[in-house]
Structure 1
Amino acid sequence: MRNYVYALLLGSIFPLGFAPFDLYPITLISISLFIFLLDKKNNSNHYLLGFFYGLGLWSVGISWVYVSIHYHGDISIIMSLLITFLFAAFLSLYFSALTFLYSFFKTNDTHVNYIVLFPILWVSIEIVRSHLFTGFPWLIVGSSLSGTSLGGWTPILGSYGSSLIILMSAGCLTSIMNQRKRLEFYSTLLFLLFLISSFSLNKYNWTSEDEELNTFLYQPNLSLRDKWSINGFNKTKKLIEQAVAISKQGDLIVFPETAIILDKTEIAPWIKEINFKLIQKEASLISGIIAKDSTNEYLIERYNRFQGFGILNSHYDKVHLVPFGEYVPLRDYLGGVMDVLGINMISTLPGESINSLKAGNIRVSPSICYEIAFNNLIRKTAKTSNLIITISNDTWFGRSFGPEQHLEIAQTRALEHQKVLLRATNSGVSAIIGRKGEVLKRQGIFEQKELKGKIYLYEGNTPFSIVGNSIIYIIILLTYMYLFYIKRTNVHKY
């Protein structure tokens, strides 16, 4: 029982390596001690140790879910805590799978177990978690180094590859703790190699500066109730008009997700006027907008759109939607029930394609909210773009860890492609992120301000931009082939 408590505590300190704390050595220590705990001789139920480690990790790491459910879902404290706990418990099953597989593939060589087997299994589970049930790529280990001087492997191997490097480093520390002289020497050497290579590679520039651009990010800071009202829209409309009026030649203005809550057809004269003024200045404005597709008595279908105005007059419709948040799974089967009950349904439709926005020398890789967490989705447009822009509305998560963690994920995408990333949100955290994942400028949470900045468009690609996750997939595949070979050889020996 005591070991389960240790696992719970080790899991609970894991998120301290991520935003808003950024104590990334603690994540390394958490993983290293957990590997050490797994290898204790009296531990037979590895899957339970994994579950409790995951429960500690997710209970702290996604505590922002409670804020969203209780304060904005108008659900009681008890029910909100229960739902958050159940979600954390569900995610903990991934760690149960991790530790079960570890006990299955475990070899007689502790060096291999710590530095190869455990890291490969962890990264495999991260990848599965990022895709299964629409995916939840949150608290990916590699993201903890974004914006630090040790993020050098991320532009080469991506966030999963960085996870592997960190996990192998943790395995080295575990080997050192085992106090076997031969292992201590090689593990220390390997750990230093990972450290020095990460630091050295971070200095290398895969992309090159091109054109300079003046940018203005607007954070309206409207409450959720106000945001979806006509009064709220009028406030945003006034901000947009002011932004366009003071803009100069070639400026880029960015407003957050669904800043414009009306369809373009409903405000056509105003849109025409805004476009005209921007084109005269050869300027651009990007804003989230609602685009209606069809309407009947009980069902409203719409797109969550990333809309460009002025010379950047094109759009992108969000393709990776949040289940239950933006659409109801099995809607075709539930629609009849909703009709009988007289319940209106608002459903967001997925975009038909993943496309960039282009105007002159500007080529924008767009994403909306949660999409920024999916590295392969962003790569599809980032590799042909010279600027990444993500718009979001994190008001749902209040002053919890959520907005800061979301920002850190955006930093990882900037680092993977070594291109500037602009992040505009309704209530924070809006930021200008440099190509090394560092935050150049930012706005605080629940502040109504504009964020001005001069940025560079960057040309060229990182290795990750070109090949994506292919390298890490090949490494994982070859490792599994080796592990199965070892397993089979050991079986035939006896």
Structure 2
Amino acid sequence: MLIYKIFTQRISTGVALFGLGVLLALVAELPYGGWYQLPILSIVWWLLRNEMSQTTKQYFAYGLIFGLGYFLIGLWWLYISMHDVGGMNPILSAIAVLLLSLYMASYFCAATFSIRYFKQSQIAGLLLASSWVVAEYLRGYIFTGFPWMGLAENQFTGPFSLIAPVFGGLACTFLVVWASWEILQIRTHPIKRAVMLLATIALIQFTGKISYTKPFGEPISVRLIQGNFEQSLKFNPQAISQQIDFYVSEIEKQSANLIIIPETAFPWPQNNLPSGLLNYLQNYSNTSLSNLLLGLVGEVPSDQGLQYTNRAIGLSPNTAPYQYDKVHLVPFGEFIPPGFHWFIKAFNVPLSDFARGSFDQKPFSIERKNQASVNAAITICYEDVFGSELASRIKHNKEPVHLLVNMTNLAWFGQSQAPTQQLRLSQLRSLETGLPALRATNTGITAVLGSDGKLLQNLPEFTQATLAAKIQPYSGQTPYVRWGNLPILSLSVALLIWGFIRHRRF
């Protein structure tokens, strides 16, 4: 009877943790989802704290189950790209999503071990938060990194997002984990914990009133063209011609300071595009005084001959063409990690091994008649996930950056939550840098964001339309752009070292 009771208790705890992971992923899509994170995480910490007597393997399993529930819900749309679009075997596609989710969950699991290790510490909440920050940082760098579905981007609708311009998204993560632990302690020290929580939230809100960037010149007119072409059409020669004709026609309908089409909107390699197409668009730029950003497939020389790149071409009036090649590539989608070519053979999609662009590419200069040019930092799709890389580019650019531009094609992921997830990431990037942003996408979400990350205008998903708007450029650098992740990582590592020393001493 005792064995049965212990066995059923372990199962129920595992089911509860899995369900809380699922719930944590689901509330991210709700208004004020960042607030809902706090009580959910508090319950997770309570369950894990109650299981501290379990063996190391059992405790590891509990943490892994929680993370698995979170990432399976958050990343299920990868199945669409592999099976529905890529034609990969459904079982193999499901296994791939499961394995990736398990790998992501292992970082969560490692972070939760601080609850067990520092169980007697008076600063257990700070140590748990520090562990989580270090785990999230490593998740964003090991094997080129995959920091998607972190806790920080969900804080855009929560209480701690306004710390992002100062210390970045990892600081949001630190405060979420610490605050959720403090909520758990309210029953034992109600006044002390409540005052600490309320004072911290109030301080963050006050800090958010400080502006580190300021308007630069006059607003510019923009047109963001959303083609809404299915991904399957990207490899159909006849459909490719129709897509090119559509985008050229839309570009010519009305001039603007800046006209953007999405990532790989021209899906053919640059040298295979219709003869004279880019020259024709350059002439249009010259006569209309419009700056154009075009997503296409580039080509660069390599040891094996020509290699493809995910490229943005910029055309400005009477100026040499601008070129940006994507730097941070998607594992398996855009480059093949060593030893995994067998996997790509099952993933029946061409152009899956791209070359990387250099990190020090300059921003795109948007020319304006009788006014100073506006410089835009370009990111292509997945690059919007890496806030520290974008901040570093802005800091080290010789020319100041006034605007962020993200060119994206999320048709790979169908009608899933992937577009809203990336929108939140873009909002966090604007908040961290204090710069407005433009998102030009194939199927959505095409949007204009303010320098505070707030959504100013957007197009409905899965519609063929053009968003015409005005956007105010900004100048200046936030503390996060200047310092990056160094302050929050230094604090987290210092706290963990202190925690380990005190633990060994006592």
**Would the TM-score normalized by the shorter structure come out above 0.5?**
yes
Per-residue deviation, residues 213-244 of structure 1 (Å, max 9, x unmatched): 10111111111122233333333333333344
Per-residue deviation, residues 56-110 of structure 1 (Å, max 9, x unmatched): 1112111212222231132454443333222222222222222334423x1523x
The one-letter code of the counterpart of 1:464 is Y
Counterparts of residues 106-145 of structure 1 (less than 5 Å): 106-109=118-121, 111-113=122-124, 115-145=125-155
**Matched residues in 1 for 2:418 and 2:62: separation?**
26
TM-score (norm 1): 0.89
Mean Cα displacement is larger for which, 35-44 or 189-198?
35-44
- Alignment equivalent of 1:228, drawn from 235, 250, 264: 235
Task: Specify the alignment match of 1:166 in structure 2.
Answer: 176
Mean Cα displacement is larger for which, 200-209 or 363-372?
200-209
Task: Specify the alignment match of 2:328 in structure 1.
Answer: 320
1:344–1:234 distance in 2 versus 1, CA, 3 Å = closer
Per-residue deviation, residues 359-386 of structure 1 (Å, max 9, x unmatched): 4421111111111101112113334310
Calculate percent identity across the aligned residue pairs: 24
**Matched residues in 1 for 2:491 and 2:468: separation?**
42
Following TM superposition, by how much is the alpha carbon of 1:150 offset from its aligned partner in structure 2, in angstroms? 4.8
The one-letter code of the counterpart of 2:445 is V
**Matched residues in 1 for 2:341 and 2:25: separation?**
38
Task: Specify the alignment match of 1:88 in structure 2.
Answer: 101
Task: Specify the alignment match of 1:446 in structure 2.
Answer: 462
Per-residue deviation, residues 244-282 of structure 1 (Å, max 9, x unmatched): 43333x520011111112344444522112112212333
Task: Specify the alignment match of 1:474 in structure 2.
Answer: 490
- The answer to whether residue 384 in structure 2 is matched with residue 372 in structure 1 is yes
Mean Cα displacement is larger for which, 20-29 or 120-129?
20-29
1:481–1:241 distance in 2 versus 1, CA, 3 Å = same
> Counterpart of 2:472 in 1: which secondary structure?
strand
Task: Specify the alignment match of 2:4 in structure 1.
Answer: none
Task: Specify the alignment match of 1:68 in structure 2.
Answer: 81
**Matched residues in 2 for 1:42 and 1:116: separation?**
18
- The answer to whether residue 194 in structure 2 is matched with residue 188 in structure 1 is yes
**Matched residues in 1 for 2:159 and 2:19: separation?**
28
Task: Specify the alignment match of 2:29 in structure 1.
Answer: 19
**Matched residues in 2 for 1:300 and 1:224: separation?**
24
Per-residue deviation, residues 33-78 of structure 1 (Å, max 9, x unmatched): 1111222166423212211111111121112122222311324544
Per-residue deviation, residues 91-135 of structure 1 (Å, max 9, x unmatched): 22222222334423x1523x411x211111111111111111211
Task: Specify the alignment match of 1:199 in structure 2.
Answer: 205
Task: Specify the alignment match of 1:305 in structure 2.
Answer: 311
Following TM superposition, by how much is the alpha carbon of 1:353 offset from its aligned partner in structure 2, in angstroms? 3.2
Mean Cα displacement is larger for which, 157-166 or 58-67?
58-67
- The answer to whether residue 67 in structure 2 is matched with residue 54 in structure 1 is yes
Mean Cα displacement is larger for which, 234-243 or 9-18?
234-243
**Matched residues in 2 for 1:357 and 1:174: separation?**
49
1:357–1:31 distance in 2 versus 1, CA, 3 Å = same
- The answer to whether residue 374 in structure 2 is matched with residue 362 in structure 1 is yes
**Matched residues in 2 for 1:463 and 1:131: separation?**
22
Task: Specify the alignment match of 2:5 in structure 1.
Answer: none
Following TM superposition, by how much is the alpha carbon of 1:294 offset from its aligned partner in structure 2, in angstroms? 4.9
The one-letter code of the counterpart of 1:201 is T
1:344–1:139 distance in 2 versus 1, CA, 3 Å = closer
- Alignment equivalent of 1:247, drawn from 254, 277, 286: 254
> Counterpart of 2:438 in 1: which secondary structure?
strand
1:88–1:21 distance in 2 versus 1, CA, 3 Å = farther
Task: Specify the alignment match of 1:390 in structure 2.
Answer: 406
Q: Which runs of 5+ in 1 are unaligned?
A: none
- Alignment equivalent of 2:282, drawn from 263, 275, 278: 275
Following TM superposition, by how much is the alpha carbon of 1:405 offset from its aligned partner in structure 2, in angstroms? 0.6
> Counterpart of 1:348 in 2: which secondary structure?
coil
**Matched residues in 2 for 1:280 and 1:232: separation?**
29
1:22–1:382 distance in 2 versus 1, CA, 3 Å = farther
**Matched residues in 1 for 2:376 and 2:52: separation?**
55
**Matched residues in 1 for 2:464 and 2:182: separation?**
47
Following TM superposition, by how much is the alpha carbon of 1:148 offset from its aligned partner in structure 2, in angstroms? 6.0
- Number of aligned residue pairs: give it: 475
> Do the aligned partners of 1:307 and 1:314 also contact (CA within 8 Å) in 2?
yes
**Matched residues in 2 for 1:149 and 1:271: separation?**
47
The one-letter code of the counterpart of 2:389 is L
- Alignment equivalent of 1:415, drawn from 431, 435, 439: 431
**Matched residues in 1 for 2:158 and 2:50: separation?**
34
TM-score (norm 2): 0.87
- The answer to whether residue 446 in structure 2 is matched with residue 430 in structure 1 is yes
Following TM superposition, by how much is the alpha carbon of 1:482 offset from its aligned partner in structure 2, in angstroms? 1.0
